């Protein structure tokens, strides 16, 4: 569990996390509205040398070109659909050749890779608590 006091700290956490990422990595970020999911994704992007990252809420996904590309998905609008997995599959995500970050990534997103980080942001207090759950062999020995 990591505590995060400010938006700048959340961004810095993303930058720190990005140093460990390689093509094929899947990161699911969950938390309530305003928790800092997009700020964390922006920090990850910054660490990969990518700027101008905004939430893809209305377009659902964006591909950011870089030496290590970033696919940034906001699955919020898919949650209320009859079959969110089907719509997620329709996005034709290039998970193998990029870092994929999915905000609001639940069970339908988790099935995309057994090797993933599941990040949950709790903002029930003034200081956010960030839990990073490491799943699969790829992340077996991971620590920040």
The 10s digit of each residue's pLDDT in 113-127 is: 999 999 999 999 889
The 10s digit of each residue's pLDDT in 11-20 is: 999 999 999 9
**What pLDDT is attached to residue 28?**
96
**What pLDDT is attached to residue 103?**
92
Length of the chain in terms of residues written: 144
What are the sequence ranges of the domains in the chain?
Answer: 2-138
Nearest alpha-carbon partner for 94 in 59, 53, 52, 65: 65
Alpha-carbon distance values, 109 to 21, 46, 85, 86, 127 (Å)? 18, 23, 7, 11, 27
Any idea which architecture 2-138 has in CATH? 3-Layer(aba) Sandwich (3.40)
Nearest alpha-carbon partner for 39 in 54, 60, 61: 54
The 10s digit of each residue's pLDDT in 2-53 is: 999 999 999 999 999 999 999 999 999 999 999 999 999 999 999 999 998 8
pTM for this structure?
0.91
The 10s digit of each residue's pLDDT in 72-106 is: 998 876 666 565 555 666 677 888 999 999 998 88
**What pLDDT is attached to residue 56?**
66
């Amino acid at each position: 569990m990591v505590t995060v006091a400010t938006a700048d700290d959340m961004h810095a956490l993303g930058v720190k996390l990005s140093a460990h990422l390689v093509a094929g990595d899947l990161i699911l970020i969950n938390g309530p509205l305003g928790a800092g999911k997009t700020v964390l994704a922006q920090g990850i992007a910054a660490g990969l040398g990518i700027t101008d990252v905004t939430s893809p809420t209305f377009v659902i996904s964006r591909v950011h070109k870089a030496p290590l590309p970033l696919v940034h998905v906001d699955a919020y609008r898919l949650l209320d659909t009859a079959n969110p997995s089907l719509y997620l599959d329709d996005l034709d995500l290039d998970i193998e050749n990029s870092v994929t970050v999915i905000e609001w990534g639940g069970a339908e997103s988790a099935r995309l890779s057994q090797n993933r980080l599941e990040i949950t942001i709790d903002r029930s207090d003034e200081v956010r608590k960030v839990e990073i759950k490491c799943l699969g062999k790829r992340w077996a020995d991971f620590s920040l």
